[in-house]
Amino acid sequence: MRLSVIGCGYLGAVHAAAMASIGHEVVGIDVDERKIASLAAGEAPFFEPGLSEILSEGIASGRLSFSTDFAAAAGAAVHFVGVGTPQVKGGYAADLTYVNAAVDALLPHLSEGDIVAGKSTVPVGTAASLAPRVSATGATLVWNPEFLREGFAVQDTIDPDRLVAGVPAGDEGERATQVLREVYHPSIAKGTPFIVTDYATAELVKVSANAFLATKISFINAMAEIAEVAGADVTMLADAIGHDARIGRRFLGAGIGFGGGCLPKDIRAFSARAEELGRGESVAFLREVDEINMRRRERAVQLVQEGLGGEVYGKKVTVLGAAFKPHSDDIRDSPGLDVAVRLHGLGANVTLTDPEAIENARRQHPQLTYVADRDEALTGADAVILVTEWDEYRRELAPEHAASLAAGRVVVDGRNALDPAAWRAAGWTYYGMGRP
């Protein structure tokens, strides 16, 4: 089937390449000429495991192309819209400027019977407001939210854990559903659940999933705050409650909290939309979820200060990580990068290293010192703080080796990813998040 993907950022580029990899003919469209040139040359403009391979394969096969011309979308049966919905400046609400612009630019190139499938994360009610504009061309709007995990986005697109389609009522919705089933046939044939809903439910599925995950992370971080004053170990606490099948262990990792381009801005936009709907009290707890998350960053800074005797001024602090999570170069709202910037503001000589995110971080925070080599970054450090749980920090860095390089013996484990006993045995003063 011929498909178009409007917006070739993180979501759109992965979706376009993944759809081509399962046999569709796909054109990706974006107004950013440099991004399109990079993609058309088979070069991923960001780091995502597996993307470069399917991108190159798709272009070589002729099934995947990229353009800055919206007219290239003409003739596609399904047009996926995957542009960004950032947080508005000075507020919590989602900025729908890019969604509206993408749909408006697409409208002249739609034909009778086309499907426009929104994939962007939007406030509930957005699809209903866009539908009349799409219907006026004879096309049908559906809402098909994405559930990608950075670092696993290719896998999550090709083999998702569920597919959700919000469609209009009646024959139009039934026909659109059938078309989407054809698009995603390989996944459905493997048993992926295909859930058909109305527009509002499809929109809420995405934001409520993110709100739940953010709440679970902040819950265990709230328990870490209690554990710190009570002398308990939040990691053992999480293990114990995680054995309850109703709770589960995933997303119960206490540390410096969540970041990235989705969870922080999505829970804020959800709160703002609930206020607009007159039900702000229903998700008022999300404000506290956000506040807990931000407090853990400050706590990590405090632990570094404590380890260095209360003063970080003039001390060399090595920060292991810049990306908001491993297997990504995404620094959007990165807790670890925020911690590094805060330490720099207190006068520390901050040296930051990361396997993939250094250039992105340098562009945003040129005041920090960046070193690509892990061991070089550790050399002469008075304190070390782990903020992104890359394997080369959590599994491959022996505490004895780190001790042979660093000047001091203070390590702050911002992700509770290290073995405290092993680091203490190697002479380090170990500080965890919510651990004695």
As annotated, the active-site residues are 262
Buried b (16+ CB within 10 A) or exposed e, 369-384: bbbeebeebbbebbbb
Residue for token digits 């919206």?
70
Give, as one character, the DSSP assignment of residue 247: T
- Following DSSP, what letter does each residue of 55-117 receive, concatenated? HHHHHHHTSEEEES-GGGGTT-SEEEE----PBPTTSSSB--HHHHHHHHHHGGG--TT-EEE
Are 187 and 159 a contacting pair, CB within 8 Å?
Answer: yes
Q: ∠ CA(79), CA(183), CA(196), 5° rounding?
A: 90
From CA 80, how far away is CA 139, in angstroms rounded?
13
Residues in contact with 26: Cβ distance below 8 Å, sequence separation at least 6, in sequence order: 2, 3, 4, 5, 16, 17, 19, 20, 58, 63, 64, 65
Measure the CA–CA gap between 119 and 99, rounded to whole angstroms.
10
Which residue, chain included where needed, has tokens 């297997």?
A: 327
Q: What is the DSSP letter of 260?
A: S
178 and 188 Cβ atoms separated by less than 8 Å: no
Rounded to an integer, what distance in angstroms lies between the CA atom of residue 366 and that of residue 88? 25
The separation between CA 31 and the C-alpha centre of its own chain, rounded to angstroms, equals: 23
Distance separating alpha carbons of residues 200 and 128, to the nearest angstrom = 8
Task: Provide the token pair at 284.
Answer: 């008022």
**Residue 417 · residue 386 · CB < 8 Å:** yes
* Ramachandran angles phi, psi of 361, nearest 5°: -65, -40
Q: Is 188 within 8 Å of 194 (Cβ atoms)?
A: yes
